[in-house]
Chain A
Amino acid sequence: GQQVMQIPQYQHVQEGEDFTTYCNSSTTLSNIQWYKQRPGGHPVFLIQLVKSGEVKKQKRLTFQFGEAKKNSSLHITATQTTDVGTYFCAGHHSGAGSYQLTFGKGTKLSVIP
């Protein structure tokens, strides 16, 4: 099946450092979504990117969608302990019936106070 690769799998940062997670697909995506899952919780939607080269910001979080619509990144500036959790990207692959979302394996972020 179609896959979305996400790296790194784990990231430990000192509070105040920046953090970036990357997603890559071998095929073109219709859109890409990002989710955050706190420890013991369920995934919560953060944002959706649709357009080629799109950049969106939410406070300290910056999301990018590549020009070819095959890759995406999430960057957190000056991490805080509240950023702890696992961040997932998920993409709808282009083509008929873009109803199935393919999730990356996630990046687990630990923030050391």
Chain B
Amino acid sequence: DGGITQSPKYLFRKEGQNVTLSCEQNLNHDAMYWYRQDPGQGLRLIYYSQIVNDFQKGDIAEGYSVSREKKESFPLTVTSAQKNPTAFYLCASSVRSGTMYNEQFFGPGTRLTVL
């Protein structure tokens, strides 16, 4: 069964702690993305990666870090430097078609609450 998995679904952390969100895909997609969703704000891009061992900052990368050591995996670390980390985090992937990417497939998301 192909798809994107994110774990855990709900995550609680104390303020000042780093936390890593998992994202795995078995769709053999080249590109992977991390978005943050806040109520009424739509989806904002944190980081994206087009290829293994390479990634670029999105619009709101401050306080976050990523790695892409394997094609299937794109974990996101929310660091203590992120001032307002409580949000719904979505991972997505897509396949390249020429110079563009096709539709994005989203995982179920992780709802992070920092206490």
Contacts and interface: CB of A to CB of B under 8 A. Distances in A.
B43 A43 contact: yes
A42 B103 contact: no
B102 interface: yes
Q: Interface extent on A, as a size class?
A: 20 to 34
Contacts of A44: 106
Q: Interface extent on B, as a size class?
A: 20 to 34
A99 B90 contact: no
B107 A42 contact: yes
Interface of B: 31, 33, 35, 40-45, 48, 50, 58-59, 90, 96, 99-109
Shortest beta-carbon contacts, A-B, top 4: A105-B42, A45-B103, A42-B106, A103-B43
22 contacts: A31-B100, A33-B104, A43-B43, A43-B104, A43-B106, A45-B105, A48-B102, A48-B103, A88-B42, A90-B104, A92-B100, A97-B99, A98-B100, A98-B101, A99-B101, A100-B58, A101-B33, A101-B45, A101-B101, A101-B104, A102-B45, A103-B35
